[in-house]
Structure 1
Amino acid sequence: MNVRTVAATRWVERWERQQQRYAVDREERFTVISDVVERVTAGHAAPLLLDLGCGPGSLAARLAERMPEAEVVGVDADPLLLELGRAHHGTALRFAEASIGEPGWLDALALDRPVDAAVSTTALHYLGEDALRRTYEGLAGRIRPGGVLVNGDHLEPDSPKVHELAVDIGRRRAERQQALTHEDWESWWSGVRADPELTPLLAARDRRTHPRCEGNDLTLTDHLALLREAGFEHVGTVWQFGKSHVVVAVR
């Protein structure tokens, strides 16, 4: 089911604004992730990039703009967000519907060569620990030697006291940037449901069985340990503000 480009653009732009509430220095985080991917893929013709939990393609589009020679595949389980992304971004990106961490999810992407870089932002924290472990292991098997997984997400410090400080620092930063003046997640979805142009997409979405958002309470140290166990040789944080981290794992 197709949606008009003008409608898709309207809702993608609203998505961009509301997401600023949920990621400290969102644009800087995107830039850092793109910097890492550009460095790791330098000298590789037509690198293959995956954006996991891509929504309507926010990070994927920035990667495609930075590296127009790359093949960028956005992966998400939500057909409505994927269709908005297809209509808004056109042929610059390829979108694939898959439930990250479920058995066979990587096979559903129809990849024809090893992955040069997989990225994600504010998405993998929704996975339960077992699903996250499967995701890390699956990606380690698909990413080429020297390739990279880059995850920008809310990751818990190991210390409860540091957690309190990190949350407060993030809140203060958001207030200074006026990020909390944007509409929230619930308001965005309420607006989508009230838009008659999106009724067919919503009907299709509501017929699907969506993966349950288990979530996890893993700390940053736990994530790094899981990445090493999965087969990534070098892991660590390259950027942080409050609880917001960019973690890099190199095969």
Structure 2
Amino acid sequence: MGITRAGDEVEVRMTAAGTDWQSWQESWDRQQEWYMPDREERFRVMLDMVEAVVGPEPRVLDLACGTGSITDRLFRRFPRATSTGVDLDPALLAIARGTFEGDERVTFVTADLKDAAWAAELPHPTYDAVLTATALHWLHSEPLATLYGQIGGLVRDGGVFMNADHMIDTDTPRINAAERARRHAAMDRARAEGAADWADWWALAAKDPVLAAPTAERFAIYGEHADGDMPSVHWHARTLREAGFAEARAVWASPSDSLVLAVK
């Protein structure tokens, strides 16, 4: 299956080989880039810091992995790395499992991060690095703090946790408003040129013979979108230190997002 958006219509090109998981993977990347044009930069810095702190052969937990975006870039950068991807979304996990089918370096686990026992499903007790991007803003502050406490027990001594996500500083409302207006103007221009948004992408997934059922299931689980708090980078750093990490601070930031690194 190839996926494009031309004008106001999403076009689907079927192939005789069946579901083209790589095309789904790439279409997810393009859809996410509509919201975050600097998405690859945050991944680059994340992996730079993995290498700097724990080396080029890490055992990684790809937390709320989605389609496996972090794992994909991890293996391209560090071929001897291993990864455990954990998520609850059945549609995105189907794409991840299809994309990495036969790759013994990766294992995918279905688990709800709001379930107190979710970590019991993991194949390893600890990891060199726990990585996540643009996912945990689905959680409100209290369950996110609880999750950070659990992550503190999953990162080995000397290991790292990194979260790249929307982190809003409520002390800077004028800066926030100016950044948001500029970002949305750029998104509107890209949309006019044919970029697919979240709704377009999921509408296409709902029509796919393989993804239709898991897509319906994921909307039953999550609803339409996040309603989390998106606290500031300072909250994340403080909460991670309270969870047992020795150090925590931002190592990258855009006008809207930040990448927080915590060292155990």
Smaller-chain TM-score bracket: 0.7 to 0.9
- Whether 1:191 aligns to 2:204 is yes
Q: CA RMSD in A?
A: 2.6
Contact 1:20 1:179 in 2 (8 A): no
- Whether 1:71 aligns to 2:82 is yes
Cα shift at 1:215: 0.6
Deviation track 1:184-236 (CA, whole Å, cap 9, x = no partner) reads: 11111111111223345446x36974599441142222222211111111111
> TM-score, length-normalised on structure 1?
0.86
Q: Tell me which residue corresponds to 1:57.
A: 68
Aligned partner of 1:130 among 119, 136, 142 = 142
Which range moved further: 49-58 or 8-17? 8-17
Contact 1:137 1:231 in 2 (8 A): yes
Q: Tell me which residue corresponds to 2:251.
A: 238
Flag the 1:200–1:147 CA change in 2: closer, same or farther, 3 A.
Answer: same
Aligned length: 243
Other structure's SS at 1:18 match: helix
Other structure's SS at 1:10 match: helix
Aligned partner of 1:227 among 233, 240, 244 = 240
Contact 2:83 2:106 in 1 (8 A): yes
Q: 1:239 & 1:227 partners in 2: Cα distance?
A: 17
Which range moved further: 215-224 or 114-123? 215-224
Q: 1:140 & 1:152 partners in 2: Cα distance?
A: 17
Q: Tell me which residue corresponds to 1:151.
A: 163
Aligned partner of 1:106 among 96, 119, 125 = 119
> TM-score, length-normalised on structure 2?
0.82
Flag the 1:209–1:155 CA change in 2: closer, same or farther, 3 A.
Answer: closer
Flag the 1:226–1:66 CA change in 2: closer, same or farther, 3 A.
Answer: same
Flag the 1:186–1:214 CA change in 2: closer, same or farther, 3 A.
Answer: same
Other structure's SS at 1:120 match: strand
Contact 1:5 1:88 in 2 (8 A): no
Which amino acid letter does the alignment assign opposite residue 150 of structure 2? G
- Whether 1:167 aligns to 2:183 is no
Q: 2:221 & 2:213 partners in 1: Cα distance?
A: 17
Q: 1:93 & 1:5 partners in 2: Cα distance?
A: 23
Cα shift at 1:243: 1.1
Contact 1:98 1:109 in 2 (8 A): no
Contact 1:53 1:74 in 2 (8 A): yes
Q: 2:188 & 2:243 partners in 1: Cα distance?
A: 38
Q: 1:220 & 1:78 partners in 2: Cα distance?
A: 26
Q: 2:176 & 2:129 partners in 1: Cα distance?
A: 30
Q: 2:38 & 2:219 partners in 1: Cα distance?
A: 35
Q: 1:173 & 1:146 partners in 2: Cα distance?
A: 40
Flag the 1:167–1:214 CA change in 2: closer, same or farther, 3 A.
Answer: closer
Contact 2:161 2:262 in 1 (8 A): yes
Q: Tell me which residue corresponds to 1:31.
A: 44
Q: Answer 1 or 2: higher relative contact order, Cα 8 Å, separation at least 6.
A: 1
The correspondence of residues 2-41 of structure 1 with structure 2, limited to 5 A, is 6-41=19-54
Structure 1 unmatched runs, 5+: none
Which amino acid letter does the alignment assign opposite residue 119 of structure 1? L
Contact 1:48 1:116 in 2 (8 A): yes
